[in-house]
A and B are shown apart, each in its own frame.
Chain A
Amino acid sequence: MNPFYFGRSERPLFGLFTRGRSTPGGVATEERAVLLCYPVGPEYLRAHRAFRQLNQLLNRSGFHVFRFDYACTGDSAGEGVEASFDEWVDDVDWAMDELLDTAGVDSFDVVGLRWGAALAALAARERDEVGHMVLWDPVVSGQDYLDEVLPGGGVEGTVGIEGYPFTAELRAALATVDLRADLAEGEALRTSIIVADDSPDVAALKATLEGRGDRVTLDVVPSPGSWSEVDPFGDALIPQDIIKAIVDRLRNES
């Protein structure tokens, strides 16, 4: 396990790299690596344990894994009120470079959860090293996300969403994101969409990706709990079946 800071010197990002292990069931024929992209806000804390578990399962399957915190989140530099969506997309780009360098590979897979899925997909548009992209319960529409976490809307300035500041600028940037339109162009990828619940948004996203040439599968893996629900004592959400489904997709279809 190798935790370290990387990226811009003025605003370093925290990352954690773990090497894959060669096991009887693991992938040993060639080195493969995966970048994990967290969700943001309260969902980040709620998902950390699930990411650790996904990380471990991928390592056991032979994958090198790199996960990191976007600027102004987690252990990375920056205060929450300084967070910028464009910078987060740029951070994913930095992390992709870091993974290539640290793992010593020429290509990698990427898994993103919720906003992490959106950020990964947006960053991957310009990258030709991405082999397989897994979008896990992706936020398809930023406006729909805001309507869910801030029902009624009508707020101004910085608001706290379960302890995390969302400035007016950040909310405005999130509101403009719509993967159904934003991913209409870009590198064609092997893409897996894995969700706990099917929805018209997800079907539309699949159609968008197919339209640009992606080879897309959509798996609905019913799973208890919801990322946007919050436990007053900070409980984690660990959707075991989805985590296993992600590992299976990456092992079997790259």
Chain B
Amino acid sequence: MRERALVFGPANLVGILTQPDPEVALPDAPAFVILNSGILHRVGASRLYVRLARTLAQEGFTTLRFDFSGVGDSEVRKDAIPVEERFVTETREAMDYLTATTGASSFVVGGLCSGADGAFFTSLEDQRVVGLWQIDAFCYRTPGYYRRRYLPKLVDPRAWAHSIKVRVAPDAEEERDEEQFVKPEYRRIIPPQEVVGDGLGSLLDRGVALYFLFTDGLEDYNYAEQHAEAFPELDLGRRSEIRYIPESTHMVTGLEHQEVFLSDVRRWARRFGAARREPVPA
């Protein structure tokens, strides 16, 4: 495995290129592009992106993890591209760079939280994307969510007591702490459910492979099948891989949870060892 620090593209983005040893490199395999999560720089939460890139190199894949303009070590972009278009524009610039320097012609994109969002929108716009992985992707509450969220509390007197306390006396300590921290600049905007459903459907029709990891860090997700049940017409349970780790934080801070994710993606990535672009059967 070889890692190289670089500055690339018209916006001078800072990234790390991780390449496999020549003897394990997969010819014609897609390259992986990993996107920032909020304001966290390219190493990722808990250094997860570093470990993912190295894991993928062991499997023969090249990976570029980089900082969007204004994030991590990349400078603020000076051209006129609107902020809302930078995710997609700069991810495509990363892919262009990989094509020019490594010859890669297809890509797998992914990230956590806002990185997941950027990867999703890039996948919709760029036909070179053949795989999408997301940690805590856009998700939507289902009847199953509400059943799990509220039913246990309806029958638990302790939950009632807590609810009343919170309502009449907000935790002053917690409020004060909230004010003390600098807030991230990224504000997540959740698209309408039908927009995401249409997008996922078009990706499946294109043969884009999908992997989702949901943690317990999102208030809107609370059971394994929720993502599939939110989009019943897509049959995501069969046509994608969905992992839910009920004990995991949003930042995947549990060491054992990190191993689950890395093991999942290692196995999931093996499908890209041979070129494939067939639609995922509906």
Stretch at the interface among A128-136, A145-153, A203-211, A230-238: A230-238
**Can you list, as one digit per residue, whether each of B39-63 has a CB less than 8 Å from chain A (1) or not (0)?**
1111101111011000000000000
**Can you list, as one digit per residue, whether each of A212-249 has a CB less than 8 Å from chain B (1) or not (0)?**
00000000000011000101111111100000000000
A80 touches B (CB below 8 Å): yes
Stretch at the interface among A29-37, A101-109, A160-168, A187-195: A160-168
Nearest CB to that of A5 among chain B residues? B5
CB <8 Å contact, B255 and A16: no
CB <8 Å contact, B182 and A77: no
Taking CB atoms, residues of chain B closer than 8 Å to A52 are: 72-73
CB <8 Å contact, A80 and B7: no
CB <8 Å contact, B181 and A235: yes
CB <8 Å contact, B37 and A232: no
Once bound together, how far apart are the Cα atoms of A233 and B192, in whole Å? 23
CB <8 Å contact, B45 and A45: yes
B184 touches A (CB below 8 Å): yes
Once bound together, how far apart are the Cα atoms of A233 and B45, in whole Å? 9
**Can you list, as one digit per residue, whether each of B156-190 has a CB less than 8 Å from chain A (1) or not (0)?**
00000000000000000000010111111000000
Sort chain B's interface into a size bin: 35 or more
Taking CB atoms, residues of chain B closer than 8 Å to A231 are: 181
Taking CB atoms, residues of chain B closer than 8 Å to A77 are: 3
A155 touches B (CB below 8 Å): no
B102 touches A (CB below 8 Å): no
CB <8 Å contact, A3 and B43: no
B interface secondary structure, majority: loop
What is the size, in residues, of chain A's interface with B at 8 Å between Cβ atoms? Answer: 36
B260 touches A (CB below 8 Å): no
CB <8 Å contact, B73 and A163: no
Once bound together, how far apart are the Cα atoms of A44 and B112, in whole Å? 19
Once bound together, how far apart are the Cα atoms of A229 and B174, in whole Å? 13
CB <8 Å contact, A232 and B250: yes
Once bound together, how far apart are the Cα atoms of A249 and B158, in whole Å? 54
Taking CB atoms, residues of chain A closer than 8 Å to B42 are: 75
B12 touches A (CB below 8 Å): yes
Once bound together, how far apart are the Cα atoms of A74 and B7, in whole Å? 17
Taking CB atoms, residues of chain B closer than 8 Å to A80 are: 47
CB <8 Å contact, B253 and A163: yes
CB <8 Å contact, A1 and B184: no
B6 touches A (CB below 8 Å): yes
Taking CB atoms, residues of chain B closer than 8 Å to A235 are: 39, 181-184
Q: Which of B39, B48, B72, B249 contacts A232 (CB 8 A)?
A: B249
Taking CB atoms, residues of chain B closer than 8 Å to A12 are: 3
CB <8 Å contact, B184 and A234: yes
CB <8 Å contact, A163 and B14: no
CB <8 Å contact, B46 and A233: no
Nearest CB to that of A3 among chain B residues? B5
Given contacts A5-B5, A224-B179, A231-B181, 12 further A-B contacts (CB under 8 A): A1-B12, A2-B7, A12-B3, A48-B40, A73-B47, A74-B50, A77-B3, A79-B51, A163-B46, A163-B252, A224-B180, A235-B181
Can you give 5 contacting A-B residue pairs, CB < 8 Å?
A: A52-B72, A74-B47, A225-B182, A232-B217, A234-B45
Give the 7 A-B residue pairs with the shortest CB-CB distance, closest first. Answer: A163-B46, A163-B253, A3-B5, A224-B180, A160-B255, A234-B40, A238-B182
